[in-house]
Structure 1
Amino acid sequence: MKITAIPQLYRNLRRWREILAVLRRYGLADWLSQHRRLPFRGWFKDHRGTPLAEYTREQRVRMALTDLGPTFIKLGQILAARPDLVGVALSEELKGLRANVRPDSIETVRQTLAKELGENYEAYFASIDAQPLASASIGQVHRAVLHDGRRVVLKVQRAGIEKTVKQDIEVLSGLAVLAERVETVAAWRPGDVVRQLAPIITRELDFSRERQSLEHFSTWIAKHSVDVVVPNPVAELCTRRVLVMDELMGRSLGDCLREAARSG
């Protein structure tokens, strides 16, 4: 296969430039310089990079994924659970990956709500907090109150994220094609990794799957009398891009597990 035949190489050239600039910054693009016919080979030719000697390669991978944005942050979070693919050291480092993504404005959130729930969406909500409770790679969360007084959490997909994810997966597929041709990288089987992970990332864009999981988990808990509370989704206000569920106050599961580990 010719390198110039890589799908969408030129259509996504701008995003290729951005991604390779970040990889180069963290000293992660040296293997690409072996491809002499790449149209962007000169972008990292003779580049010494920013001094990052104090960081391990695993730390630089995490930092690069953070800089590359939502798709790559989500990719890193998935890989954190796959030491069989990336090794124990990188898996542990990626567990510290956080989606420090700048949130959409409340105006943009309201535009998404209008598209998903209809122009009269405000008829459902007595109030929506303008300041997000959390902002992640795929969506962001706001506290809200329904007109019946029910306190809920509103998860809204980031504007334009579907287009970004699609474009980034195409670039990742292209990078995998290049990586397969470099002996020191091919052993990682990058093509297989991308083919396995791309559907997982894409499924995360459909919030209706998360709603179904909440409903199934709640049903299972009710049958087994487990002392766990699951937030109930407000089905009539849930779509592919919007998820509304009960607000629960308490400690995070991660905090509980860490405390149990220290005391155990």
Structure 2
Amino acid sequence: MKITAIPQLYRNFKRWREILAVLRRYGLADWLTHFRLPFRDALKDRRGVPLSKYTREQRVRMALTDLGPTFIKLGQILASRPDLVGPGLSEELKQLRANVAPDQTEQVRETLRNELGKGYESHFQTIDFKPLATASIGQVHRAVLNDGSRVVLKVQRSGIEKKMQQDMEVLAGIAQLAERVDALSVWGPGEMVRQLAPMITRELDFTRERQN
């Protein structure tokens, strides 16, 4: 997966703003006010829901959850490094769970058409479109093949690959900015993003999972 530099992030302006809005909501965007970003003013004087009852560690976890699967994976990397983030944040990030609604039936049908062809129904006697389980990247459905075999069908969430690739581009730019902030550079943000890239690629490769 290609990781782009800061100048190329401007094509992802909308997602960049969404990410900053979540960081701002949880009071985690103060460090970005040092940079002359075109959307810097959006970071000022907005707190959203009062968060006084939450610790900073809890707010980091909540923000990563809101930002979706790419950032949840980043949090899982951080959780394994108490030497960098401290034991408190490490323990909090171990609680990270995706909180996502399942794709609707028509979205699942569209994904199956794209992956298996328009006649995908011919491979199955039945498909239960009510998901058995839902995760950040995919969801699982019961199905019965034509030979009567009962199987589970794992379907990737609609549009998730494009979104996660876009998030990786944005994260690469954020990491470059963070490297210039003394309090954050000690975490090695650039290296974290480099570690995250192959993990995301593996998560998105459902054929690899099937082979295992």
Task: Give the TM-score, by structure 2 length.
Answer: 0.91
Partner Cα distance (1:46, 1:138) in 2 = 34
**1:19-57: per-residue Cα shift (whole Å, max 9, x none)?**
00100111111111111x111110112334532121111
Partner SS for 1:204: helix
Q: 1:78 to 1:181 in 2, by over 3 A?
A: closer
**Matched residue, 2:208:** 209
* 1:10-159 equivalence runs, <5 A: 10-35=10-35, 37-159=36-158
Counterpart AA for 2:199: I
**Matched residue, 1:232:** none
Partner Cα distance (1:34, 1:120) in 2 = 55
Q: CA deviation at 1:160?
A: 0.9
**1:167-224: per-residue Cα shift (whole Å, max 9, x none)?**
10011011111111111111111111111112211221111221222xxxxxxxxxxx
**1:82-124: per-residue Cα shift (whole Å, max 9, x none)?**
4345333222212222111121111111121122122222122
Q: Which runs of 5+ in 1 are unaligned?
A: 214-264
Partner SS for 1:201: helix
- When you count helix as a share of all residues, which structure comes out higher? 2
Q: 1:42 to 1:196 in 2, by over 3 A?
A: same
Partner Cα distance (2:209, 2:182) in 1 = 40
Q: 1:79 to 1:128 in 2, by over 3 A?
A: farther
Partner Cα distance (1:57, 1:134) in 2 = 31
Partner Cα distance (2:79, 2:122) in 1 = 41
Partner Cα distance (1:90, 1:155) in 2 = 32
Partner SS for 2:126: strand
**Matched residue, 1:227:** none
Partner SS for 1:209: helix
**Matched residue, 2:170:** 171
Q: 1:86 to 1:211 in 2, by over 3 A?
A: farther
Partner Cα distance (2:39, 2:155) in 1 = 36
Partner Cα distance (1:100, 1:44) in 2 = 25
Task: Give the TM-score, by structure 1 length.
Answer: 0.74
Q: Which runs of 5+ in 2 are unaligned?
A: none
Partner SS for 1:188: coil
Q: 1:111 to 1:49 in 2, by over 3 A?
A: closer
**Matched residue, 2:7:** 7
**8 Å CA contact retained: 1:27, 1:49:** no
Q: Which has the larger radius of gyration?
A: 1
**8 Å CA contact retained: 2:132, 2:141:** yes
Partner Cα distance (1:85, 1:116) in 2 = 41
Partner Cα distance (2:156, 2:83) in 1 = 31
Q: 1:84 to 1:152 in 2, by over 3 A?
A: farther
Q: 1:142 to 1:58 in 2, by over 3 A?
A: same
Percent same amino acid at aligned positions? 75
Counterpart AA for 2:146: H
Note the aligned Cα RMSD (angstroms): 1.7
1:184 maps to 2:183:
yes
Counterpart AA for 1:197: L
Counterpart AA for 1:209: R
Counterpart AA for 2:8: Q
Partner Cα distance (2:186, 2:127) in 1 = 50
